[in-house]
C-alpha cells in the first residue's frame, strides 16, 4: 500500500477527530469563551501527537498566558535533517451565529465540504500533520520537532516571544508553517510572501462637548467630519492606498491572481469595480493596503442634532516585503496628522505591528516539496503571495537564518476562514497529508 492509499484509509478517522477538535470552542479570548476550552484543545493536541511517537510532548506557558504544545520525535539516523511542524489550535470567534448555516462548533458535512469554526484554520492542518505521520508509521526518516500554539488568532505574540527564548527547543533545517493554503481546491501552493501590518487607532478631538448643530453648526469644527476627511485622504479615486512616504507602485513578479477568480473568491458583485491601478496580484501582495476596521461615533439610532466633539477610527495597514513596520507607522502617523483639517487635535495609538516576510525558494526543502506536491496532486505547485500577516515567520527567519521556511495548508478561498460558514474540503486534507508524508521522505533523501 503506497502513502496516498494509507492516507485515504485514514479519512474516516480524520473526520471523527476533526469533529472532536472543532467541538472545542478554543477562542483565546477569555472575554468571549472560557479559558478551559483552550486548555482542553491543548491537551487534545498533546495526546494526539504522543500517539504518533512524540514521547516528550509538553505544554509550555507563553508570555501571553497561552499554552504551546511542544515536542520532538528523533529519527533512527542521527544525521538526518530536522523538520519543525507548526500549526495552531486556537480559532476565531464564530461572529454572528445566525449567519451560520450549520452550528459553528459542530463539524457538519454539506456539499462535500466539512463546516465548522477551525475546520480549515487551523485544526484541519493539525489533522493533516497527524494523517501524514500515521501514513508513515514507524518509518519517519527525519528528526521532527513540533509546536502548536494557542493564541495565533489573537495576535498577542506569545509564540513570537517564546521562540527566540527557546531557540534550541525548536531549531530545525526546514519549518513547515501550516497555516496558509492552496490557490484553489486541487491547485497546490506554497506561500512565499506575506505582508506585514500596522494597526492603529486614530482619535480626533475638536470640541470639549457636543454643541447644538443649529446654534453652532457651520463655524464650529466637527470631529466626525474631520475624521472622515482624514480617512478619505488615505485612498485615491481609483482605490489605491495613498499613505505619503510609502511606495505604492510595486508589482508582483510571481503567479498572477486571475481577476475573475478573485471576484468569485471575494464574492464581489459583477457591477462593482476592483480597486487600484495595479493587477489583483499587485494590490494584494506587492503594495500597501489601508482598511478602516471600525469607527467610534454616535450611531444613527439615538443620535441627536449635535456637532460631534470627538471621534475615532481603527485602521489596519498591510505592508509588503521591503517595508519596515516602524517606517510604515511613522508614515501613517505623519499622514493622518497632516491631513487633519481645521487644526483639530489628532492622536495615534499603536495597537500592534508585524513584519512582512519573503522566503528563499532555492533550497533542498523547496525542491523536495515541489516533487511531493506534484506526486500528491498530479500537477505542479505554484508560489503565491498572501495579503495577510504571520509575524511568527519573521521570528523563525531571524532565529533560524539557515532554515528553509515553507508556508502551506488546507485553507483555500472557498474555506471562508475568519468568516461565518468556515469549511474545509476533505480532499485538501487528504492530498496535503500525502504531500507532507512524501516531502518528509524526499527531504531525507529516501524518496
> So which residues are the catalytic ones?
90, 152
Cell of residue 310, nine digits: 470627538
Cis peptide upstream of residue 424 (ω within 30 degrees of 0): no
Cβ-Cβ contacts under 8 Å for 318 (sequence gap 6 or more): 195, 196, 197, 288, 289, 290, 291, 387, 388, 389
Cell of residue 316, nine digits: 489596519
Region of residue 408 (left: phi > 0; alpha: psi -120 to 50; beta: else) = beta
E strand spans, 286-412: 289-296, 306-307, 310-319, 345-354, 357-358, 382-386, 404-408
Cα distances (Å, whole numbers) of residue 320 to 129, 233, 328, 354, 428: 29, 20, 10, 11, 28
- SS3 for 212? strand
- Residue 184: DSSP 8-state: B
- SS3 for 387? coil
Nearest-angstrom CA–CA distance, 200 and 206: 20
Closest to 142 in 3D by CA, of 324, 372, 315? 372
Amino acid at each position: 500500500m503506497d502513502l496516498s492509499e494509507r492516507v485515504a484509509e485514514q479519512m474516516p478517522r480524520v473526520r471523527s477527530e476533526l469533529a472532536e477538535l472543532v467541538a472545542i470552542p478554543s477562542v483565546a479570548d477569555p472575554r468571549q469563551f472560557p479559558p478551559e476550552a483552550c486548555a482542553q484543545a491543548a491537551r487534545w493536541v498533546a495526546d494526539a501527537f504522543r500517539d504518533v511517537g512524540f514521547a516528550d510532548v509538553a505544554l509550555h506557558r507563553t508570555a501571553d498566558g497561552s499554552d504551546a504544545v511542544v515536542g520532538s520525535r528523533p529519527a533512527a539516523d542521527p544525521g538526518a535533517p530536522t523538520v519543525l511542524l507548526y500549526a495552531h489550535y486556537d480559532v476565531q470567534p464564530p461572529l454572528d451565529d445566525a449567519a451560520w448555516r450549520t452550528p459553528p462548533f459542530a463539524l457538519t458535512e454539506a456539499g462535500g465540504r466539512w463546516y465548522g469554526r477551525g475546520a480549515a484554520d487551523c485544526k484541519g492542518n493539525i489533522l493533516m500533520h497527524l494523517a501524514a505521520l500515521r501514513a508513515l508509521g514507524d518509518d519517519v526518516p527525519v528528526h521532527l520537532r513540533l509546536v502548536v500554539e494557542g493564541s495565533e488568532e489573537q495576535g498577542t505574540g506569545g509564540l513570537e516571544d517564546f521562540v527566540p527564548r527557546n531557540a534550541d527547543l525548536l531549531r530545525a533545517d526546514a519549518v513547515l508553517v501550516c497555516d496558509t493554503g492552496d490557490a484553489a481546491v486541487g491547485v497546490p501552493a506554497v506561500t512565499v510572501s506575506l505582508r506585514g501590518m500596522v494597526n492603529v487607532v486614530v482619535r480626533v478631538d475638536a470640541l470639549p462637548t457636543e454643541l447644538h448643530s443649529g446654534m453652532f453648526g457651520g463655524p464650529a469644527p466637527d470631529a466626525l467630519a474631520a475624521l472622515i476627511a482624514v480617512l478619505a485622504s488615505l485612498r485615491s479615486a481609483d482605490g489605491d492606498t495613498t499613505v505619503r512616504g510609502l511606495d505604492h507602485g510595486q508589482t508582483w513578479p510571481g503567479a498572477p491572481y486571475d481577476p475573475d477568480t478573485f471576484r468569485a473568491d471575494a464574492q464581489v458583485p459583477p457591477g462593482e469595480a476592483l480597486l487600484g491601478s495595479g493587477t489583483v496580484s499587485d494590490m494584494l501582495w506587492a503594495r500597501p493596503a489601508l482598511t478602516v476596521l471600525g469607527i467610534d461615533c454616535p450611531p444613527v439610532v439615538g443620535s441627536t442634532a449635535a456637532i460631534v466633539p470627538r471621534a475615532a477610527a481603527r485602521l489596519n495597514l498591510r505592508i509588503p516585503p521591503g517595508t519596515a513596520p516602524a517606517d510604515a507607522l511613522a508614515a501613517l502617523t505623519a499622514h493622518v496628522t497632516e491631513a487633519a483639517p481645521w487644526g483639530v487635535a489628532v492622536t495615534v495609538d499603536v495597537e500592534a505591528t508585524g513584519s512582512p516576510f519573503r522566503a528563499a525558494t532555492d533550497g533542498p526543502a523547496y525542491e523536495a516539496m515541489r516533487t511531493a506536491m506534484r506526486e500528491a496532486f498530479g500537477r505542479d505547485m505554484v508560489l503565491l503571495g498572501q495579503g495577510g500577516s504571520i509575524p511568527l515567520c519573521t521570528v523563525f527567519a531571524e532565529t533560524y537564518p539557515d532554515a528553509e521556511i515553507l508556508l502551506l495548508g488546507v485553507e483555500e478561498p472557498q474555506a471562508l476562514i475568519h468568516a461565518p460558514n468556515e469549511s474545509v474540503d476533505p480532499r485538501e486534507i487528504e492530498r496535503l497529508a500525502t504531500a507532507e508524508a512524501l516531502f518528509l521522505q524526499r527531504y531525507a533523501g529516501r524518496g
